[in-house]
Amino acid sequence: MVKLPVSYYLNEDVVGLAKSLLGKVIYTAIDGELTSGVIVETEAYNGHTDRASHAFGGRLTPRTKTMYENGGVAYVYLCYGMHHLLNVVTGPLNQPQAVLIRGVEPKDGLITMLQRRKLDKLSSRLSAGPGVLANALGVDLNCNGKSLLGNEIWIEDHGIEIPSDLIVCGPRIGVDYAGEDALLDWRFYVKGNQFVSKPNK
DNA sequence: TCAGCGATTAACT
DNA sequence: GTTAATCGCTGAA
């Protein structure tokens, strides 16, 4: 299988890229355990013009520095003091764009993921939601700034195409504080998939 | 230096 | 439907 090339991540259309990530397969090889899942839910965060983004207004801090990197690295952020959120940095250097991975459908390393999540059987609770999927994949702050072309975390294209009538867009989750920007339809997910984080019936 | 808070989840009532 | 858990980052002092 082929890892997505750097050129894929350099696309400046972060919203379109968030949509195209649906159906791609994300892999992690952490602590010697290979795990992977098909991406079924994403959100776009568009740099300095997006109030919901950490980099809004051109803020550059030790934490957000990763978002300014060239596309193709991971941006991992600790939220609420207990949850890791996994983002894919996109766009050219100094353009702070990123795509938040909110839901994946488990594929390889299921046993490992179940152990990490302290579950004894497969359920949508395994990896539906940005905090829990990072936990299932073994992603933590050590992955922040890691290249997506390395051998610890990467994304492959398995040729999975989501039919356009199954791709749904809508407002992003948990960003009410962002004012008008909270209303933008920058969240994409696969209709009917049980590993989408929000009630999806 | 430090108070306040968040791109959430799970366990309650 | 409501709320506790929990800590690094941010911005102001």
pLDDT in tens, chain A (201 residues): 799 999 999 999 999 999 999 999 999 999 999 999 999 999 999 988 999 999 999 888 888 999 999 999 999 999 999 999 999 999 999 999 999 999 999 999 999 999 999 999 999 899 999 999 999 999 999 999 999 999 999 999 999 999 999 999 999 998 888 889 999 999 999 999 999 986 543
Position A93 scores a pLDDT of 94
Residue A70 in tokens:
């060239």
Integer Cα distance of A3 and A190 in angstroms: 22
CA–CA dist A34, A52 (Å, integer): 32
In window 9-28 of A, residues with CB < 7 A from nucleic chain B are none
Q: Is A78's CB less than 7 Å from nucleic acid strand C?
A: yes
The 10s digit of each residue's pLDDT in A70-90 is 999 999 999 999 999 999 999
Model confidence pLDDT, tens digit, residues A133-163 = 999 999 999 999 999 999 999 999 999 999 9
Residues in chain A: 201
Residues A171 and A161: their CA atoms lie apart, in Å, by 23
Helices then strands, counting H and E runs in chain A, come out as: 4, 9
Task: Check whether residue A75 has its CB closer than 7 Å to nucleic acid strand B.
Answer: yes
The pTM score is: 0.95
Cβ contacts of A173 within 8 Å, gap of 6 or more: A43, A102, A187, A197, A198
The pLDDT of residue A88 is: 97
Q: Distance from residue A109 (CA) to nucleotide C8 (C1'), in Å?
A: 30
Quote the pLDDT of residue A199: 59
